[in-house]
Chains A and B, each alone.
Chain A
Amino acid sequence: MMADLKPPRFAQKVLLSFLREEISEEVQGDLEELFFSNLEKSTPARARLNYWYQVLNYLRPFAIKKFKSTFSNYLTMYKHDIKIGWRNLTKQKMYSAIKIGGLGMGIAACFLIALYLKEELSYDQSYPDASRIYRIVGRATTDGVIEKWVSFPAPMAKAMLKDFPEIEISARLMPNSLFPGAGSNEIRPSDNKENTYEEGFTYADGELLNMLQLPIIYGDKRNALSEPNTMVISKSKANKYFPGQNPVGKIMFLNNDKSRPWKISAVIQDPPSTSHLQYNFYLTLSGIEWWQGEQSSWDADNYVDYILLRPGTDVALFKKKLTTDIGYNYYLPTMLKGGDKNAEKELATFSLHLQPVGDIHLKSYDIKDGLTHGDIRFVLMFAAIACFILVIACINFINLSTAKSANRAREIGLKKVAGASRNVLITQFLTESLLFSFFSFILGILLAWILLPYFNLVSARSLVIPWSAWWLAPGLLVSAVIIGLAAGLYPSIYLSSFMPIQVLKGELSRGSKNSILRNGLVIFQFTASIILIISTVVIYDQMHFILNKKLGYNKEQVILVQGANTLNKEVKNFKNELLKNPHVINVSVSDYLPVTGTKRNGNTFWEESKRNSESGVTGQFWRVDNDYIKTLGMKIIQGRDFNSSMPSDSQAVIINQTLANKLNLKDPVGKRIFNGGTYEVIGVVEDFNFESLRDNINGLCMQLGNSSSIISVKVNSADMQKTIAYITSVWKTFSPNQTIRYTFLDESYARMYADVKRLVSIITGFAILAIIIACLGLLGLSSFIAEQRTKEIGIRKVMGARIGTITGLMSKDFVMLVGIAFAIASPVAYWAMNKWLQDFAFHINIGWWVFALGGFVAVSIALITVSFQSIKAALMDPVKSLRKE
């Protein structure tokens, strides 16, 4: 047993790693003898420990190998490498600038995209119980189309809590601005007469705040929102209305409605930008009943439900139980009672799902929830683009490094002759590329810092560079090293492989494989550039089309005065007062306007005689006034407009062409249609685009009615300022405590397409980046070719070739490469852009000139880039290039 006890092997290794060879035998012997004598005296563990102690005690100057001389040599070599690297960098300033600039730009782009992605991925991750909080998502298939939604009946949240012990808390959110109070309001503290317009109102259960554990600054967390007519406001709003005070217990009025005072019960922290709940005012749902029996009715879906599951719940199983329970115990009886004979069949495709709260921002692109959110597909696409840009930038870097190899050939040859091994040379070139990489990173971060405000503008974010984060500096340093090594590996292997004799004789072997790679890369980069150029042009063209299309109404010179509901009955007098000004042509009061963001609803219409035999037609049912059609410049093509002198018009409607067609009304005027009540059609208005141009025009039915938040004022004035001043002064006399809020119809219209405008900026940015990177690639290739053909050009010049001829000769090949890129890019761009345009029901057709333009731009840019090199090559003195032979 004693025999297999040996001194710790690792300790022996450590000993040998530093011990001088001359004394290693005796020392090992001594230590082993001690070890065995210790074994007899004490335990093996102690003996081993003592062995380690003895080993470490040999770390004495006399016993240690002489490392010092070799180490200092290495240091000198690194110093030498850095010095040579620096000299090379400064010797060819243009090339160094291009290399560093190209890589720096790639790094800047990547860095910005990384910041963007980090923000996108951090949405709703910070709630303490985020992993157990879910939003309920409904899903059903109607006529083969999958539909997902998040609005549910009022009693569902309580029903779920009652039926399932797995649920710890359930809560409802009701941000739908169809219900007064939600969305935006004119608001004032009870002791202040001045109204202020605010957005970000929502109704919610108090449980929601508990579930998300939103940080509370003032007030009681438990009882916030538990009493009727209480509200919770955010810190910034509290500071705005009650500076320096604790606002808990204060009263606020919405839209001057003194019959419904709202008491502040708590103040919460402002929502972080990375929350999907961007609300500053939470109004309680407690005590709310929108109509008789609404809170117990399973007929209307208006509430978003959130639940907190108990730890360890099997979500997949729970989901199934939930679907069955809600579907068959609640929905089915309601549907059967409503006379729906297909209820069972419809319910078969219905299911409920649990969406983790952290997924709401990125994974809701196919869910209709009225929120603006990100898209996981874009996140992945951007991540791919970032990697792609970086790889391309690195490849260009490699290309430019190897292209100028001839300059280094003699240096390498001499070093090898002097005894440098390949490893030494590889180390040298890697050091050099690390040097470049560090400069590129400095430049890249600087660029990112400068471009961040523009990037924020385009991406509609407020990103900041986290300078003080602990991971930033080490992360960047490690990335710089990785990029430096990755970009430097191939050049260093390539350059260090030169044969000294050939190199010193002036022969440089050049593989043809390389040029295939180079050509391929240039084609690829130009393909990407041309696709992006064409996309930019197409999207720009579509934007132009959108802004100038004939819409069926006149959006020019219409001022929209908002928040007019506080005028109440005075609105008629206000209207008459405005009309006294000669520049005011028409005034109309209606919340339903042909731009998104104004009031909408969903209704079903029947021709009265067929209401029991046919299924209805969906459409909007708008409440307008007598002057609506005149003010907005729509065209009546059959029948007549509303007339204030005809009292029977209160039961009359005007429909649009689409609704007439859908209802199969050959001669609509005089026909009667049914929607809860019966109405007589007195006119047909020409179809106009009241929704985004993405959608086809839907059915529309207009009736005289009261909806008084927005007043549209059609003016005809060269001096807009003066007219607005007039409207403002009239407003002041009618509503002295509320600042006038107005916008223009054409601006509201343009806002509907802000995303398209943003897309134009993004694509333009990417196109510029792609073009610059492609140019760098082309520059690398052209300088490589120019170097290769130095002698050929020399001979041609001696034979009498002119500069123009040689320049043409050099450029021809590159134009061909761009031509190939164009041939690949055009169909791809056509396909992609056509797909994008399909999103719009009204869109342009892509003309051939778009492609011509893209090709022309690409070829011009390529020629300009190449001409740097080709002209330089053509101007070279043939004596110099031929002398080497």
Chain B
Amino acid sequence: MMETHLGNFEEVILLITGILGEEAYAFKIADEVEIQTGRTTSIGAVHSTLNRLENKGFLTSQFGKPTVERGGRRKRIYTITAYGRRILAASRDFKLSLWKQYPDIIIDSLIYGRLSIKGI
């Protein structure tokens, strides 16, 4: 059993940060989360997660350029670290290995939702 230190929301944020690249700052990330997941979230919640991920060493950040629509304020650009990339890969591999062990019939029924299994 491996411990990823990565919650679901954290994983989403981490992935989106990677996707956005140069444009990965709190407002844009929150915007993208809404687009990708369809769920509304607040910048504060995203910022809080980013802060946590940075503390864990998955992200690093530096100030970007100020822009007019921000009232001339700088933005904080988050960049995924090598450790962060490794943890994302490990998370993906772990899940894939779990999926590989999954019986095929049940995969179908899970996908199409026809079979209910006790305990799930």
Q: Which residues of A contact B (CB under 8 A)?
A: 23, 25-34, 36-37, 53-54, 57-60, 62-63
B69 near A33: Cβ-Cβ < 8 Å: yes
- Cβ < 8 Å to A, chain B residues 60-78: 63, 66-67, 69-71, 73-76
Question: 0/1 per residue, B35-62, Cβ < 8 Å to A?
Answer: 0000000111101100110000000000
Minimal Cβ-Cβ distance residue in B for A35: B69
Also in contact, A34 and B43, with CB within 8 A (given A60-B48, A62-B48, A63-B48): yes
Measured in the bound complex, the distance between the Cα atoms of B42 and A63 in whole Å is: 14
Taking A29-B66, A30-B75 as given, write out 17 further A-B residue pairs in contact, using a Cβ cutoff of 8 Å, ordered by the A residue number.
Answer: A25-B73, A25-B74, A26-B63, A26-B76, A29-B27, A29-B75, A30-B27, A32-B70, A33-B27, A33-B70, A34-B30, A36-B69, A54-B42, A60-B44, A62-B47, A62-B48, A63-B44
Also in contact, A57 and B71, with CB within 8 A (given A30-B25, A30-B26): no
A29 near B70: Cβ-Cβ < 8 Å: yes
Contact of A32 among B51, B52, B73, B74 (CB under 8 A): B73
A58 near B44: Cβ-Cβ < 8 Å: yes
Measured in the bound complex, the distance between the Cα atoms of B29 and A26 in whole Å is: 14
Q: Which residues of B contact A (CB under 8 A)?
A: 25-27, 30-31, 42-45, 47-48, 51-52, 63, 66-67, 69-71, 73-76
A29 near B74: Cβ-Cβ < 8 Å: yes
Which chain B positions have C-beta within 8 A of A25? 73-74
Which chain A positions have C-beta within 8 A of B76? 23, 26
Which chain A positions have C-beta within 8 A of B27? 29-31, 33-34
B25 near A57: Cβ-Cβ < 8 Å: no
28 example contacts (A-B, Cβ-Cβ < 8 A) are as follows A25-B73, A25-B74, A26-B73, A26-B74, A26-B75, A27-B26, A28-B70, A28-B73, A29-B70, A30-B27, A30-B43, A30-B47, A30-B70, A31-B27, A32-B71, A32-B73, A33-B27, A33-B67, A33-B69, A34-B30, A53-B42, A54-B43, A57-B42, A57-B43, A59-B44, A60-B44, A60-B45, A62-B48
Which chain B positions have C-beta within 8 A of A60? 44-45, 47-48
Give B114 Cβ to nearest chain A Cβ, in Å. 40
Measured in the bound complex, the distance between the Cα atoms of B70 and A30 in whole Å is: 7
Majority SS at the chain B contact face = helix
Which chain A positions have C-beta within 8 A of B69? 32-33, 36-37
Measured in the bound complex, the distance between the Cα atoms of B63 and A53 in whole Å is: 25
Give A11 Cβ to nearest chain B Cβ, in Å. 13
Most buried by A among B51, B63, B66, B67: B51
Minimal Cβ-Cβ distance residue in B for A30: B27
Minimal Cβ-Cβ distance residue in A for B77: A26
Minimal Cβ-Cβ distance residue in A for B74: A25
Measured in the bound complex, the distance between the Cα atoms of B42 and A59 in whole Å is: 11
Which chain A positions have C-beta within 8 A of B45? 57, 60
Measured in the bound complex, the distance between the Cα atoms of B17 and A109 in whole Å is: 74
Which chain A positions have C-beta within 8 A of B30? 34
Which chain A positions have C-beta within 8 A of B48? 60, 62-63
Which chain B positions have C-beta within 8 A of A53? 42
Most buried by B among A30, A36, A54: A30
Measured in the bound complex, the distance between the Cα atoms of B69 and A36 in whole Å is: 7
Give B26 Cβ to nearest chain A Cβ, in Å. 5
Contact of A63 among B31, B47, B73, B75 (CB under 8 A): B47
Minimal Cβ-Cβ distance residue in A for B55: A62
Which chain B positions have C-beta within 8 A of A54? 42-44
Measured in the bound complex, the distance between the Cα atoms of B70 and A27 in whole Å is: 10
Minimal Cβ-Cβ distance residue in B for A24: B73
Q: Which 9 A-B residue pairs are closest in the complex by CB-CB distance?
A: A29-B73, A57-B44, A57-B42, A29-B70, A30-B27, A58-B44, A26-B76, A30-B26, A60-B48
Which chain A positions have C-beta within 8 A of B66? 29
Measured in the bound complex, the distance between the Cα atoms of B47 and A25 in whole Å is: 13
Give B45 Cβ to nearest chain A Cβ, in Å. 6
Also in contact, A29 and B71, with CB within 8 A (given A62-B51, A62-B52): yes
Contact of B43 among A31, A36, A59, A62 (CB under 8 A): A31
B52 near A28: Cβ-Cβ < 8 Å: no
Give A15 Cβ to nearest chain B Cβ, in Å. 10
Measured in the bound complex, the distance between the Cα atoms of B76 and A23 in whole Å is: 9
Contact of A28 among B31, B51, B71 (CB under 8 A): B71
Also in contact, A27 and B47, with CB within 8 A (given A33-B27, A54-B42): yes
Also in contact, A26 and B42, with CB within 8 A (given A36-B69, A62-B51): no
Give A505 Cβ to nearest chain B Cβ, in Å. 56
Give A103 Cβ to nearest chain B Cβ, in Å. 52
Measured in the bound complex, the distance between the Cα atoms of B25 and A33 in whole Å is: 11
Minimal Cβ-Cβ distance residue in A for B52: A62
Measured in the bound complex, the distance between the Cα atoms of B63 and A32 in whole Å is: 17
Measured in the bound complex, the distance between the Cα atoms of B44 and A53 in whole Å is: 10
Give A31 Cβ to nearest chain B Cβ, in Å. 6
Which chain A positions have C-beta within 8 A of B47? 23, 27, 30, 58, 60, 62-63
Measured in the bound complex, the distance between the Cα atoms of B47 and A59 in whole Å is: 11
Most buried by A among B44, B66, B71, B76: B44
Give A206 Cβ to nearest chain B Cβ, in Å. 72
Minimal Cβ-Cβ distance residue in A for B61: A26
Most buried by A among B51, B66, B71, B74: B71
B25 near A26: Cβ-Cβ < 8 Å: yes
Measured in the bound complex, the distance between the Cα atoms of B41 and A60 in whole Å is: 14
Most buried by A among B52, B67, B76: B76
Which chain B positions have C-beta within 8 A of A34? 27, 30-31, 43
Give B10 Cβ to nearest chain A Cβ, in Å. 14
Most buried by A among B43, B67, B69: B43
Which chain A positions have C-beta within 8 A of B52? 62
Give B2 Cβ to nearest chain A Cβ, in Å. 27
Measured in the bound complex, the distance between the Cα atoms of B18 and A146 in whole Å is: 100
Minimal Cβ-Cβ distance residue in A for B63: A26
Which chain B positions have C-beta within 8 A of A28? 70-71, 73
Which chain A positions have C-beta within 8 A of B25? 26, 30
Most buried by B among A25, A28, A36, A60: A25
Give B47 Cβ to nearest chain A Cβ, in Å. 7
Measured in the bound complex, the distance between the Cα atoms of B76 and A53 in whole Å is: 21
Measured in the bound complex, the distance between the Cα atoms of B67 and A609 in whole Å is: 120
Most buried by B among A25, A26, A60: A26
Contact of A26 among B26, B31, B44, B67 (CB under 8 A): B26
Measured in the bound complex, the distance between the Cα atoms of B72 and A32 in whole Å is: 10
Minimal Cβ-Cβ distance residue in B for A61: B48
Which chain A positions have C-beta within 8 A of B26? 26-27, 30
Give B72 Cβ to nearest chain A Cβ, in Å. 9
Give A356 Cβ to nearest chain B Cβ, in Å. 61
Measured in the bound complex, the distance between the Cα atoms of B48 and A53 in whole Å is: 15
Give B74 Cβ to nearest chain A Cβ, in Å. 6
Minimal Cβ-Cβ distance residue in A for B42: A57
Give B37 Cβ to nearest chain A Cβ, in Å. 17
Give B33 Cβ to nearest chain A Cβ, in Å. 13
Which chain A positions have C-beta within 8 A of B42? 53-54, 57
Measured in the bound complex, the distance between the Cα atoms of B45 and A60 in whole Å is: 8
Measured in the bound complex, the distance between the Cα atoms of B25 and A31 in whole Å is: 12
Measured in the bound complex, the distance between the Cα atoms of B75 and A416 in whole Å is: 47
Give B27 Cβ to nearest chain A Cβ, in Å. 4
Most buried by B among A29, A37, A57: A29
Which chain A positions have C-beta within 8 A of B43? 27, 30-31, 34, 54, 57-58
Measured in the bound complex, the distance between the Cα atoms of B73 and A32 in whole Å is: 10
Most buried by A among B31, B66, B73: B73
Which chain B positions have C-beta within 8 A of A62? 47-48, 51-52
Measured in the bound complex, the distance between the Cα atoms of B67 and A304 in whole Å is: 87
Measured in the bound complex, the distance between the Cα atoms of B48 and A63 in whole Å is: 8
Which chain A positions have C-beta within 8 A of B74? 25-26, 29
Measured in the bound complex, the distance between the Cα atoms of B31 and A27 in whole Å is: 15
Measured in the bound complex, the distance between the Cα atoms of B63 and A23 in whole Å is: 11
Give B48 Cβ to nearest chain A Cβ, in Å. 5
Most buried by B among A33, A34, A37, A59: A33
Measured in the bound complex, the distance between the Cα atoms of B69 and A64 in whole Å is: 25
